[in-house]
Structure formats: structure tokens, C-alpha cells
Amino acid sequence: MRQKDQIPASPGEKIGKLEMFSFGCGEISTNILFSITTVILTFFYTDVVGVSAAAVGAIIGVSQVFNGASDIVAGFIVDRTHSKYGRARPWLLYMSIPYAITFVLLMTVPNVAPFAQLIYIFITYNLLMTVVYTMLQISFSTLTTLLSWDQKERSRLSIVRMTMSPIANIAVTLTFLKVVNAMGGDQAAWVKVTAVYALIAAALMLWCFFHTKERVDLPDKPGNERLPIKTALKVLFQNKYFWIVTLYFHRGIYDV
């Protein structure tokens, strides 16, 4: 796309203010969805759609198992990606539009039989959180280590993330429901407002893609064996701490 994407930068090249800001835009993008799904989504399912809290908790709890596995798969995919944009940045581009679409699908729960609604919620929730968001989040997190060789620059990136994250969370939680209620508070209002936030999130992630550049290129060493995905997943499911965290999160959902 841009000529400079194809020219490796020197290890000592610093990250400019625009690029640092653009990286922060990516953090805001991921936190828009994170804030809505962790703070507001359960309220939508129970109080607007009318699904029982127990059913919502069960769906989200079970989905954490798939989420844990998809994190590993996403990591493998990013690690094996080779393009003129780098390893992680291409996925910011590829996932931005699906990110917005699946984000809106969360709110378009059809007015059908309760069991059919649960199936719809399970599919759309996992399509977004287990597939699209996981791929986007893993890629963006990996980007922190690929923008610079310099540990000071990486520290600056971490500071940007720590600063932008709470700002995005607070901004979304303070404004989202107010806007929804101002538009009537029904499901149609939720869909419309979510569409606006989803477009903003996708635009911010695309801005991050276009205005950042991977400087760290670690070519695969000949003969360097990689752990197969099947083996990694087997190790994950045999890890008792993975199940402890999953069950703890599942219990927390029920307590909401």
C-alpha cells in the first residue's frame, strides 16, 4: 500500500507522536467493545430482550472455554503471518469491518421463540468474541512488540495503552446508555447506537493500521520447530489453572 511499508526501518528508529497517538486509537477501539460487552451487554439481554440471567450467564461462561482456545489459535496465526504490512498489522485491516458488523449483530436478537433466541445469542456472541475480537485483540497486543526494538519506546507504548484504556472505558460506560435512553431505550435504539459505536471502533482500528509501522522483523530460523496447534490446545485443556480462571469468570457472570 505505502512504499515505506516495504522498506525495513532501522532498529533505532523512534516512534513519532502521530504514530503513538494512532496506536492509542487502536486501544480505544478494542475498549469500546470490551466496555459494552462486560458492563452493558448482560443488561441488554435480560432487561431489553427478556432472556433470563441464568441463560445469559451460561452462554457467556461456556464461551470462555472457546475463547481460551481461540487465543492460542489467533497467536499461531499472527506468528505465521508474513506480508508487506508485517505480522500483526494485516489483521487490524482484515478484522476491522467484521468487527463492526458482528458488533451490531449482538444487538439484533430476533423476536422469536426463547430457545431460538439463545441459539442466536450463542452464535453471535462467539462469532464476535471468540473469532473476530480475539483475532483483533491478539494482533493489536502483539503489535506493541513489533513497532520498535527499543525498550523505552515499548514502555511508552505500554503507557499509552494504560492511559487510553480507562479513558475509553469511562467514556463508553458514561455515554452509551444515556444515548440509548435518549433515543427511546427500545431494542431499535440499542441497534442504532451500537452501530454508531461500532463504526467509530472500526474507524479507529483502521486509523491505527494506516498510521503505524512494524519495525521488528524476526524471520523464522531454518529448522526451528513450531509447536503444533493441536498440541498447544491439548496442553491448554490439561492446565488446571485455565479451568479455575474459566470457572471463576463463569461464577462472576452469574453474580451480575
pTM equals 0.81
> Are 32 and 168 in contact, with CB atoms under 8 Å apart?
yes
Gap between the Cα atoms of 183 and 256, Å rounded: 26
Confidence of residue 79 (pLDDT cuts 50, 70, 90): confident
φ/ψ (deg, to 5) at 185? 75, 0
Q: Residue 253: its pLDDT value, please?
A: 42
Of the candidates 49, 190, 57, the residue with the CA atom closest to the CA atom of residue 117: 49
Distance CA 129, CA 30 (A): 11
What is the pLDDT of the chain when averaged over all its residues?
Answer: 85
What CATH class does 21-212+232-255 carry? mainly alpha
Express each pLDDT in 42-76 by its tens digit: 999 999 999 999 999 999 988 888 887 888 889 88
Full DSSP string of 132-146: IIHHHHHHHHHHHHH
- When pLDDT is averaged across residues 92-110 and rounded to a whole number, the result is 96
The span from the CA of 255 to the CA of 122, in Å, is 19
Res 254: pLDDT: 42
Cα separation, 94 vs 169, whole angstroms? 24
Amino acid identity, residue 206? Answer: L
For the chain, the structural domain boundaries read: 21-212+232-255
Please write the tens of the pLDDT for every residue from 137-179.
Answer: 999 999 999 999 888 998 999 999 999 999 999 999 999 999 9
Whether the per-residue pLDDT at 227 is higher than 60: the answer is: no
The least confident of 36-45, 178-187, 232-241 is 232-241
Report which DSSP code applies to 26: H
Alpha-carbon span 85 to 196, nearest angstrom: 28
pLDDT at residue 8, rounded to an integer: 45
Q: Given a cut of 50, is residue 107 above it in pLDDT?
A: yes
